[in-house]
Structure formats: C-alpha cells, structure tokens
Amino acid sequence: MAQGEHATTQNLQFGFTDEQLANRDIPFRPNLFAGQTVVISGGGGGIGRATAWMFGRLGAKVAICGRNIEKLNETLNPMRDAGLAVESYLCNIRRIEDVEALFEAVTGRFGAFDVLVNCAGGQYPQPAIDFTPKGWNAVIETNLTGTWYMMQTAAKRWMAAGRPGSIVNVVAVVDRGMPGVAHTCAARAGVIALSKTVAVEWAPQNIRINCIAPGAIDTEGQKVYSEDSRRRSAQSNPMMRFGDAFDVADAAIYFSGPSGKFVTGETLIVDGGGVLWGEFWVSDKPDYFKVS
C-alpha cells in the first residue's frame, strides 16, 4: 500500500511491513522523546508494534511486553536492526505479579520510565447470549483488569519517585454499543470511565491519563473476521475505508509529548467519523436489521 493510501477490502494488507514501519514519514520533530523510556503492552503486533516503532524512531528507549515471545521478537529484532533502543519482556497482564515484575525489570534496566501505552487486549466475535463464564472473564480480565494492573502499578512507581507520567489506553468506540463483542465493549467502556476518574485523582501528582478509541483499523487482527465482516467494517464510516496503525500511534505520540501536556481524562476517537455515521457489526448482521 503506497504512502497516504488507506485500506479498503481490496487492498487490505493486515498491518505494515518492517520496511514500512522503519521508513514511514513521521509528522513529529526528530528526537521528540530522547532521554525518555516508554512501556508498551501488546507491542508484538498491530497497533502496539507500530506505536513501538514510532516512539523508538522519535528517540525513546522502548520496553515492549506481551505473552508471545515469537511475536515480541518480530518487533524487537527489526527495531534493533534499525539501531533503535528496545527491550522485550514476557508478561501476562492478567497476573498482577507479572505486571509488578515487568516494571521492576524495566526500572532496573532503564532507571525509570516516562510513558505507558496500553495496547494489549483481545476479543472474539460472538452473540452475547452465547458467552460462557470463561470467555467473558478472559476478555474482561485482559481488557479491563489487566489494563488497570498496568495503570496502577505504573502510577505507584511514579508517585513513589515523585515523577510525572503519561498513560495512554487504547480502547474502542463504545458510544453506541458494539453488537457482536459485548464483552469487549463492557471492558473498554470500563477503561474509559476508569481513566476519567483517575485523571482527576492523580492530577496532583502530574500523572495524565487519556484514551484512544480506534475504529476499523488495518492490522493482522482483521484476519479473525470474515471477508463480509471486513467489507462492512470498511463501510462503517463516512470515509468508507480502514484506518491504519499509524493513525493510532500518532494519537499516542500527541498525548504523550509536549502537545498533550494540558490534556487529561480525554478519549480521542480515531474512526473516520464512524461514531457519527453508519453502523458497525462485528458479527453477522441479523436479518431483522437488514433493510431492502
């Protein structure tokens, strides 16, 4: 896909190549994050991977974490080959002991950290009536509880050290519900409400918390959906296309850099206007809602 193009179902490429990640034009000044350390969960793929590359290319030392060492290496090795400062850590964010060990390791390696971007998450399309307790808990524990563990553990360390910090949570557009993925809608809405609340509670310590709500984004995550679902996703916004992972990474840079220094408790929707127009069905659209 050429620079500046956006994916439809015809040219969907399921994420960026290493070459694209390394060479994409960046709309921010060089070395914007020089001397800073950024922790990114879910850094092994998709939005997290693009975000890691963005921060790294802007001079940050980057710590990525996830549950799959092979996926982490797919981000780590090309970034190191490009001369960027990056480390990877195995971490299951659903386990508080893993999260605490992660931040202990990051602090030991880099001395401190300045930014946390929570990209880790996961869900699967299914009618809500068919959720099992196990399936429900898995999504809630990853998307809500795990995100909270990361937020709280980071904030405790910043407060103990008397340091400011920035947290960016990648969530979803939940304003009109998300038929087909009600579990993740509940979890992401919880993260948004949580972020608004602690943005006030933690403001005296100069810790800012913001959210990014992506719409239909061209990443490898689209592979779990049917071609028909992907077609509907591309038509779910008035721009009639997918966004890409850099659209979300750019928003994370905005929140985390000097540009976001007076912004906290906000949710930036990056969905091509989908929240204003169209309809979004992750699973098959029921016949009841089909209008001839």
DSSP string, 126-146: --GGG--HHHHHHHHIIIIII
Q: Tell me how far apart the alpha carbons of residues 143 and 42 are, in angstroms, rounded to a whole number.
A: 11
User: Does residue 292 surpass a pLDDT of 70?
Assistant: no
User: For 204-257, how does the pLDDT look when each residue is reduced to its tens digit (9 = 90+)?
Assistant: 999 999 999 999 999 877 876 778 888 888 888 999 999 999 999 999 999 999
User: Does residue 4 surpass a pLDDT of 50?
Assistant: no
User: Does residue 93 surpass a pLDDT of 90?
Assistant: yes
- The pTM score is 0.94
Q: Which whole number is the average pLDDT over 57-68?
A: 97
Six-digit token string for 145: 């509880």
User: For 19-53, how does the pLDDT look when each residue is reduced to its tens digit (9 = 90+)?
Assistant: 999 999 999 999 999 999 999 999 999 999 999 99
Least confident span in 8-17, 251-260, 264-273:
8-17
User: Does residue 3 surpass a pLDDT of 70?
Assistant: no
Q: Tell me how far apart the alpha carbons of residues 225 and 239 are, in angstroms, rounded to a whole number.
A: 21
Task: Give residue 286's Cα distance to chain centre.
Answer: 29
Residue 8's pLDDT band (cuts 50, 70, 90) = low
What is the CATH topology of the domain spanning 20-285?
A: Rossmann fold (3.40.50)
